[in-house]
């Protein structure tokens, strides 16, 4: 049984805690005003945000501080933990951190937590020996590593806890967001060979392991939502204000289930500030567009649409596109980054398939969220067990 922390429902992890060309930021050109919690309300929409989470793709590409290759000792510790779990009859998922001790990994886990919450909000570990690990053993290793960083959460109401992102069309079709009929869900498009536009998932940290690759494409795209915020402030402060106002969204049926629920749509801003002034952004244009298919939902204003168009255009300008190699794990803080991908090509005849394993983590080192975010997250306190398809329900089942 996992040791329980002072935060209800969260197992303690290996961090031993359950609480909370150049690297460019905007601080020199646009110094941020200090956040004050006095009676008067500050115009948060026009405050520029400084710090390491405000980066451009070219800067991140030149900065090695967010990338780390696992050492032979760390990989050995992971493989020994996998073998010990197998010997005890522990399944590939659902187990807690205390059933998968990896003391060799503690420095890497502390580095990850720092990069994700106090750094750029993105980190990459390389060197997982995917070629010599059968699928179930690789799942066990990936789950064991992630559960030592945070608490895995459900990705669908039907019980998915370790998803595989791959082409499931059977034809290699590159599905897109356009086309006749009801809008396709983001999950449907993700499970084709089509490109994914920038979005967040409903979790603190998304963890993606590249198990194998196709023969072309499939570049990973990541962008700082903080930089997008600052660039909109520079170019169109009027639209930045709009993004701090509520946008109606659809709860995705293929994640949360029950298409007849009364609260299947809800309003939430794209940009927001927590009680301590910390920034957060939750964004999926797909879910906003799907909400527009319901007659009772207020119509998007021209300004709201223009703001999303500008957000997308700036995202493409300032993002980082990078190869996703087998054995890489990408970790992304969903409060300060968006992610996407380019289209890809598999070669079934040659056995070349792009397959990513995905885990959603609620992390004990993350920020407090705004009061209005309870509708999506459940608990909004710093370090709380929160998010996932079933808000706040841990996928640690043993």
Confirm if 224 and 337 have CB atoms less than 8 A apart.
yes
Taking the C-alpha atoms of residue 337 and residue 228, their distance in angstroms, rounded to an integer, is: 10
Confirm if 30 and 125 have CB atoms less than 8 A apart.
no
Q: Could you tell me which residues are beta bridge partners of residue 164?
A: 357
Q: What is the per-residue pLDDT for 24?
A: 26
Neighbours of 28 (CB within 10 A): 8
CA distances from 369 to 198, 199, 340 (A): 21, 18, 24
Q: What is the per-residue pLDDT for 398?
A: 67
pTM: 0.90
- With helix as H, strand as E and coil as C, how does the chain read? CCCECCCCCCECCCCCCCCCCCCCCCCCCCCCCCCCCCCCCCCHHHCCCCCCCCCCHHHHHHCHHHEEECCHHHHHHHHHHHHHHHHCCCCCCCCCHHHCCCHHHHHHHHHHHHHHHHCCCEEEEECCCHHHCCHHHHHHHHHHHHHCCCEEECCCCCCCCCEEECCCCCCCCCCCCCCCCCCCCHHHHHCCCCCEEEECCCCCEEEEEEEECCCEECCEEEEEHHHHHHHHHHHCHHHHHHHCCEEEEECCHHHHCCCCCCCCEEEEECEEECCCCCEEECCCHHHHHHHCCCCCCCCCCHHHHHHHHHHHHHHHHHCEEECCCCCCEEEEECCCEEEEECCEECEHHHCECCEEEEEEEECCCCCCCCHHHHHHHCCCCCCCCCCCCCCCCECCCC
Taking the C-alpha atoms of residue 269 and residue 308, their distance in angstroms, rounded to an integer, is: 12
Confirm if 182 and 253 have CB atoms less than 8 A apart.
no
Confirm if 236 and 374 have CB atoms less than 8 A apart.
no
Taking the C-alpha atoms of residue 376 and residue 379, their distance in angstroms, rounded to an integer, is: 9
CA distances from 161 to 253, 313, 355 (A): 16, 33, 16
Model confidence pLDDT, tens digit, residues 200-252:
999 999 999 999 999 999 999 999 999 999 999 999 999 999 999 999 999 87
Instruction: Residue 361: name the closest of 326, 333, 327 by CA.
Output: 333
Residues in the chain: 398
Q: What is the per-residue pLDDT for 25?
A: 27
- What burial letters (b/e) apply to 184-217, b meaning 16+ CB within 10 Å? bbbbbbbbbbbbbbbbbbbbbbbbbbbbbbbeeb
Task: Compute the C-alpha angle 124/125/128, nearest 5°.
Answer: 140
Taking the C-alpha atoms of residue 284 and residue 208, their distance in angstroms, rounded to an integer, is: 18
Q: Which residues contact 134 (CB under 8 A, 6 or more apart)?
A: none
Confirm if 278 and 368 have CB atoms less than 8 A apart.
yes
- Rg, the chain, Cα only: 20
Residues of the chain with pLDDT under 50: 1-8, 17-42
Taking the C-alpha atoms of residue 81 and residue 112, their distance in angstroms, rounded to an integer, is: 20
What CATH code would you report for 52-237+314-364?
A: 3.60.130.10
């Amino acid at each position: 049984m996992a040791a329980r922390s002072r935060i209800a429902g969260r197992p303690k992890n290996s961090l031993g805690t359950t609480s909370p060309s150049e690297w460019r930021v905007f601080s020199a050109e646009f110094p941020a005003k200090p956040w004050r919690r006095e009676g008067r309300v500050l115009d948060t929409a026009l405050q520029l945000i400084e710090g390491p989470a405000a980066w451009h793709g070219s800067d991140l590409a030149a900065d090695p501080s967010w990338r780390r290759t696992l050492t032979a000792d760390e990989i050995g510790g992971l493989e020994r933990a996998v073998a010990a779990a197998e010997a005890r009859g522990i399944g590939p998922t659902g187990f807690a951190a205390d059933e998968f001790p990896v003391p060799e990994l503690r420095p890497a886990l502390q580095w990850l937590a720092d990069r994700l919450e106090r750094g750029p909000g993105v980190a990459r570990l390389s060197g997982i020996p995917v070629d010599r690990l059968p699928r179930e053993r690789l799942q066990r290793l990936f789950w064991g590593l992630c559960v030592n960083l945070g608490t895995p959460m459900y990705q669908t109401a039907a019980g998915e806890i370790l998803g595989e992102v791959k082409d499931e069309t059977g034809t290699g079709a590159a599905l897109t967001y356009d086309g006749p009929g009801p809008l396709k869900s983001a999950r449907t498009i993700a499970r084709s060979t089509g490109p994914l536009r920038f979005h967040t998932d409903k979790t603190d940290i998304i963890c993606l392991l590249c198990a194998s690759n196709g023969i072309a494409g499939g570049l990973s795209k990541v962008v700082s939502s903080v930089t997008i915020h600052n660039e909109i402030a520079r170019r169109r402060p009027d639209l930045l204000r709009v993004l701090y106002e509520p946008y109606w969204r659809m709860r995705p049926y293929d994640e949360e289930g029950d298409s007849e629920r009364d609260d299947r749509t809800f309003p939430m801003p794209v940009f927001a500030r927590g009680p301590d002034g910390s920034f957060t952004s939750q964004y999926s244009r797909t879910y906003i567009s799907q909400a527009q298919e319901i007659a009772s939902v207020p119509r998007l204003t021209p300004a709201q649409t223009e703001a999303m168009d500008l957000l997308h255009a700036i995202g493409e300008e300032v993002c980082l596109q990078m190869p996703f190699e087998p054995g890489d794990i990408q970790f992304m803080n969903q409060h300060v980054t968006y992610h996407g991908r380019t289209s890809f090509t598999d070669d079934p005849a040659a056995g070349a398939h792009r397959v990513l394993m995905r885990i959603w983590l609620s992390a004990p080192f993350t920020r407090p969220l705004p009061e209005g975010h309870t509708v999506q997250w459940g608990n909004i306190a710093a370090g709380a067990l929160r998010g996932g398809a079933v808000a706040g329900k841990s996928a640690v089942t043993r």
